[in-house]
Structure formats: structure tokens, C-alpha cells
């Protein structure tokens, strides 16, 4: 049996956390390939090493002095090394990193050093071999992840090793420069490694006891989801449930490897199993709730728009030409709404409005900003009547005005648009009606 285990930043933020990680790994012989993140926050107001590296590199890139900031990063590692009593010095590595900062090796290189250095420390602590992710994870010239080249190199290299530590978050470009995944990308590395070694399971260790039904920063003590399908998870991650990087399911999904989300601080909890499909009936009608702020709706009105052939295409063409992708597009007989990310839309606003006037000659265009979208996701919604009605009742009860509703054709999700100021209240009220009231 082979398990790939990924540990997030807070799981490796201090020597104390390293010890918990060591205990977890040693508890099962199958935990052979380990993917660490950079040291994260030790307490709420602490700074992640990744953020310290970005800030430090930004100074370096401006030609400013960054000695003090760099010293603080060194301290984070040296503290862990000395408290663990390791016979290891990173001084040579630190000098290399520093000269590469001065030589403007790039922001991605800078950020990647967080996991690289932590990987060296963890490998020394465990007595495992260290494998630089730059040697086995590849991107193409255009910066896309290169799955074929990676799969070949990673399985060739790792199959020769009984046990190894592979730092998360980065890989290399064809010209040998370092490139990272987007933030939270160590989850993706774990998934790639799991596929490469054909693992039986990919354990993703974090600071909560599984994928929770709602964001714990909004709902107090939400219950964990026992089993969730890849599809449901994708909907929730895409809509902002930050536990697992939204791209982390692709490599394992293809290989049929389940992911188990676990808590480093509560290793006895069984966490959440993420699987391709399951006959297990969910405990509640909904599997989870997630949401994001920062959307704008563009409402386009024109009499008889439905009779005008190609109207929708001409509307979307304007967005496409301006490089804006849309999130949702609910429509009525004489109205059509396009929902976009506010920060992408704002700089292009006037071009888009004039483009719409030219392309479809609307009677009116109206823009609403500061919208939040909430996704209510669940494989059981299909077979339970009245889900939308219950959502509306909950929102009405919480005095939340619903701006938009859109049900995905798979009946796996219902998307609700509310004003940003109502976002938290809306999530809480949906959690209450489907979970608290059903207990
Ligand atoms: P790691 O550093 O281990 O990768 P992350 O910070 O990326 O951990 O993800 C875990 C965090 O995700 C939790 O501490 C929690 O605050 C947040 N989170 C948001 N939504 C959810 C959810 N639905 N279930 C669990 N955690 C969530
Ligand atoms: N350390 C990186 C970040 O903070 C990657 C990760 O933690 O997964 O985004
Ligand atoms: Mg994460």
C-alpha cells in the first residue's frame, strides 16, 4: 500500500508542528511520499513564509535593501532546525537564494523557495531522500502545466525511491527557470505525485477535520462532510471553499485515486473522503455551501430580444473581445444578465458598454456591482423536491434579498446572487435550514 501525504503550511509552521507531522508519517509504513508546503502561520496575526518571500523579492526587484526581511525568513527555518535538534545548516542555500534575488531570478523562483527549503528540513527530519520538484514537475513554454512530461519524469524518478520528500507548489519551465502553480498549489503537487507513484490514496493534511459543510470563518463549527464526489468538490472549490486547490482533483481523478482531507492537529478524526462516485447517501440534502464576493451584473434589456437570432452570441462576443469570461448568464424574455468578476470588468467597463450598444442596440443597460455568489451543492438535490423553495424561505427569513438564481443543468448546484453585505447572513441561514434543523 502506498500513500502520498501532503502537509499544508500551518501543519509545518513550527518545530512542534513538525513533530506532529513526523508522528503521523511514522504511524503508517504506507506514508512513503511526502509533499510539504512552506511554513505557514503559527498564530492568527503571523505571516506565511510564502508572503514574506514575495515581499522580500519585491524589495530586491526594486533594487532596495532587503537584508532585514531576509533575516526574518532565515530565522523561521533556523528556529525549526534548532528546536528539532537537527544536524543541518541551510546557510549555503540561503546565500544562493539571496544572490538569485539580487540577480532578479523572478517572483515565482522567490516564492518557491519556501517549499524548497522546508522540503530540505523535513527530509532531514524524517531521514527521507529530498527530490527537487524542479526535476520532476514541468511546465510548457506558455506556462501551462505539462502533464505528459511530468508523469514520465516523476514516475521514473520516484519509482526508484522507497521514500521521498518532494516540495510542493513549483516546477520548472523548458528554459529551466522556476514556475509556481497559483496560491495554494502544493495541493496540486500532492495530486501529481499521487498519480505518478500510483498511490492507493492521497492524504491532504491541513488544520481542519475535513471539508466542512460551510466556511468555518462564516459558520461556527460547521460539520465535516464525510464523503463528497469530485464533481461536488469542484463546484465548492471553484466557488471559494479554500480547503483544496481547485485544480488538485484532476491528476488523481484520472487515476481514480481518492483524496482524504485530514487534520494534523486531530489525527484521529477520519476527515473527508473525496471520491469519483459513491452509493453512500449524504446525511443532508445539501453536501456543502461556498461563495465569493466581487461580482458585477450587467443587465441588458431589449423588447423582443428572444426573437432576434444570434442576440446572445453578439452579447458574449463583446465580452470575449475584451478578454472577459462570464460566470453566469441568466435570461428572461426581454432581458439577459451577464455576471462577471468585478475586478476584471472595471478596467474594461466603457469599452464593453459601447461594444454592447454597437453590437445589439439594447433599450437599456443597467449595471449592479458588489454582488456575492453562493453555491449550494449536493448530489442529493436532484432527488429531493423543493430545495430551491427551502433556500428562498431561509433567505427571506434572514431578510436577504435574492438578486439572481441559477440552477446548473446537472441539478448538482443552485447558484444564488445576493448583495455583498448580506453574504454572511445568507450562508448562515442556508446552513441552518439544511443542517442545523435536520439534526
Ligand atoms: P493548508 O495550509 O493546510 O493548505 P488552507 O488554509 O489552504 O490549508 O485550507 C484550510 C482552511 O480552509 C481552513 O483553515 C479554513 O479556514 C478554510 N476553509 C474555507 N472553507 C472551508 C470549508 N468548507 N471546509 C474547511 N475549511 C474551509
Ligand atoms: N505556500 C504556497 C501558498 O501559500 C503554496 C501552498 O501553501 O500550497 O500559496
Ligand atoms: Mg492550502
Check pocket membership of 208 for ligand 1, CB cut-off 6 A.
Answer: yes
pLDDT for res 32: 98
Query: Ligand 2 mean position to 7 CA, how many Å?
Result: 10
pLDDT for res 346: 97
Q: What are phi and psi of 373, to 5 degrees?
A: -110, 140
Query: Ligand 1 mean position to 143 CA, how many Å?
Result: 27
SS (H, E, C) the chain: CCEEEEECHHHHCCHHHHHHHHHHHHHCCCEEEEEECCCCCCCCCCCCHHHHHHHHHHHHHCCCCCHHHHHHHHHHHHHHHHHHCCCCCCHHHHHHHHHHHHCCCCHHHHHHHHHHHHHHHHHHHHCCEECCHHHCCEECCCCCECHHHHHHHHHHHHHCCCCEECCCCEEECCCCCEEECCCCCHHHHHHHHHHHCCCCEEEEEECCCCCECCCCCCCCCCCECCEEEHHHHHHHHHCCCCCCCCCCHHHHHHHCCCEEEEECCCCCCCCEEEECCCCCCCCCCCCEEEEEEEEEEEEEECCCHHHCCCHHHHHHHHHHHCCCCCCECCECCCEEEEEEEHHHHHHHHHHHHHHHHHHHCCCEEEEEEEEEEEEEECCCHHHCCCHHHHHHHHHHHCCCCEEEEEECCCCCEEEEEEEHHHHHHHHHHHHHHHCHHHC
pLDDT tens digits, 26-43: 999 999 999 999 999 999
Residue 271 near residue 262, CB atoms below 8 Å: yes
Average pLDDT over residues 8-12: 98
Average pLDDT over the chain, rounded to an integer = 96
Closest by alpha carbon to 343, among 358, 357, 325, 330?
325
User: Relative to the alpha carbon of 53, which ligand is closest?
Assistant: 2
CA–CA separation, 422 and 290 (whole Å): 14
Q: What is the Cα 190 distance to its own chain's centre?
A: 13
Strand partners, 145: 139
Closest by alpha carbon to 120, among 28, 3, 206, 39?
39
User: Relative to the alpha carbon of 225, which ligand is closest?
Assistant: 1
Whole-number Cα distances in Å, 316 to 300, 352, 356 = 12, 10, 9
Does 409 score more than 80 pLDDT? Answer: no
Does 19 score more than 80 pLDDT? Answer: yes
Q: Which atom of ligand 1 is found nearest the CA of 186?
A: 4
At residue 17 the predicted structure's pLDDT band, cuts being 50, 70 and 90, is very high
At residue 242 the predicted structure's pLDDT band, cuts being 50, 70 and 90, is confident
Q: What is the Cα 324 distance to its own chain's centre?
A: 21
Residue 359 near residue 315, CB atoms below 8 Å: yes
pLDDT tens digits, 98-132: 999 999 999 999 999 999 999 999 999 999 999 99
Domain(s) labelled CATH 3.40.1160.10 in the chain stretch across 3-275
Closest by alpha carbon to 427, among 235, 242, 293, 291?
291
Burial 221-234 (b: 16+ CB within 10 A, else e): ebbbbbbbbbbbbb
| Mutation pick for ligand 2 pocket among 7, 9, 110, 192 (CB with most ligand atoms within 8 Å) | 9
Residue 316 near residue 308, CB atoms below 8 Å: no
pLDDT for res 420: 98
Domain(s) labelled CATH 3.30.2130.10 in the chain stretch across 288-438
Q: Which atom of ligand 1 is found nearest the CA of 212?
A: 24
Ligand 2 binding residues, C-beta < 6 A: 8-9, 37-38, 48, 50, 114, 168-169, 183-187
Q: What is the pTM of this model?
A: 0.90
Pairing of strands 364-377, 288-301: antiparallel
Whole-number Cα distances in Å, 24 to 3, 17, 77, 326 = 12, 11, 21, 43
pLDDT tens digits, 324-364: 999 999 888 999 999 999 999 999 999 999 999 999 999 99
Rg from Cα positions in the chain: 24
Does 390 score more than 90 pLDDT? Answer: yes
- Right CATH for 288-438 from 3.30.365.10, 3.40.190.10, 3.30.2130.10, 3.30.505.10: 3.30.2130.10
Average pLDDT over residues 259-274: 97
User: Relative to the alpha carbon of 118, which ligand is closest?
Assistant: 2
CATH topology of domain 3-275: Carbamate kinase (3.40.1160)
CA–CA separation, 234 and 236 (whole Å): 5
Query: Ligand 1 mean position to 396 CA, how many Å?
Result: 29
Amino acid at each position: 500500500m502506498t500513500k502520498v501525504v501532503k502537509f499544508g503550511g500551518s501543519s509545518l509552521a513550527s518545530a512542534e508542528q513538525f513533530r506532529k507531522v513526523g508522528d503521523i508519517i511514522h504511524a503508517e509504513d504506507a506514508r512513503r511520499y511526502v509533499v510539504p508546503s512552506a511554513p505557514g502561520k503559527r498564530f492568527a496575526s503571523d505571516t506565511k513564509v510564502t508572503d514574506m518571500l514575495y515581499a522580500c523579492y519585491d524589495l530586491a526587484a526594486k533594487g532596495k535593501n532587503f537584508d532585514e526581511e531576509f533575516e526574518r525568513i532565515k530565522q523561521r527555518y533556523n528556529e525549526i532546525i534548532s528546536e528539532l535538534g537537527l544536524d543541518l545548516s541551510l546557510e549555503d542555500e540561503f546565500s544562493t537564494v539571496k544572490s538569485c534575488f539580487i540577480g532578479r531570478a523572478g517572483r515565482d523562483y522567490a516564492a518557491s523557495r519556501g517549499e524548497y527549503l522546508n522540503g530540505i528540513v523535513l527530509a532531514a527530519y524524517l531521514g527521507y531522500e529530498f527530490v527537487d520538484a524542479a526535476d520532476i514537475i514541468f511546465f510548457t513554454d506558455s506556462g501551462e502545466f505539462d502533464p505528459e512530461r511530468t508523469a514520465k519524469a516523476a514516475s521514473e524518478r520516484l519509482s526508484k525511491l522507497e521514500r521521498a520528500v518532494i516540495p510542493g507548489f513549483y516546477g520548472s519551465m523548458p528554459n529551466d527557470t522556476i514556475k509556481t502553480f497559483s496560491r495554494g498549489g502544493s495541493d496540486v503537487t500532492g495530486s501529481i505525485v499521487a498519480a505518478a507513484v500510483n498511490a492507493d490514496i492521497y492524504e491532504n493534511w491541513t488544520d481542519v477535520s475535513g471539508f466542512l459543510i460551510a466556511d468555518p470563518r462564516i459558520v461556527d463549527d460547521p460539520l465535516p462532510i464525510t464523503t463528497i464526489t469530485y464533481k461536488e468538490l469542484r463546484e465548492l472549490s471553484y466557488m471559494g471553499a479554500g480547503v483544496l486547490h481547485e485544480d488538485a482533483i484532476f491528476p488523481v481523478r484520472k487515476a481514480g485515486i481518492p483524496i482524504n482531507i485530514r487534520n494534523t492537529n486531530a489525527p484521529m478524526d477520519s476527515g473527508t473522503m473525496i471520491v469519483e462516485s459513491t452509493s453512500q447517501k449524504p446525511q443532508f440534502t445539501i453536501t456543502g455551501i461556498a461563495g465569493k464576493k466581487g461580482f458585477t451584473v450587467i443587465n441588458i434589456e431589449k423588447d423582443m430580444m428572444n426573437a432576434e437570432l444570434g442576440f446572445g452570441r453578439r452579447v458574449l462576443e463583446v465580452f470575449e473581445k475584451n478578454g472577459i469570461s462570464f460566470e453566469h448568464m441568466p435570461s428572461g424574455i426581454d432581458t439577459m444578465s451577464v455576471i462577471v468578476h468585478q475586478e476584471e470588468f472595471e478596467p474594461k467597463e466603457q469599452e464593453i458598454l459601447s461594444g454592447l450598444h454597437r453590437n445589439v442596440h439594447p433599450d437599456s443597460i443597467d449595471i449592479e456591482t458588489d454582488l456575492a455568489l453562493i453555491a449550494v451543492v449536493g448530489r442529493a438535490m436532484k432527488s429531493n423536491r423543493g430545495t430551491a423553495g427551502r433556500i428562498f424561505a431561509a433567505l427571506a427569513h434572514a431578510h436577504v434579498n435574492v438578486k439572481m438564481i441559477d440552477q446548473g443543468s446537472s441539478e448538482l448546484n443552485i447558484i444564488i446572487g445576493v448583495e455583498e453585505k448580506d453574504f454572511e447572513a445568507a450562508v448562515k441561514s442556508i446552513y441552518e435550514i439544511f443542517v442545523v434543523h435536520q439534526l
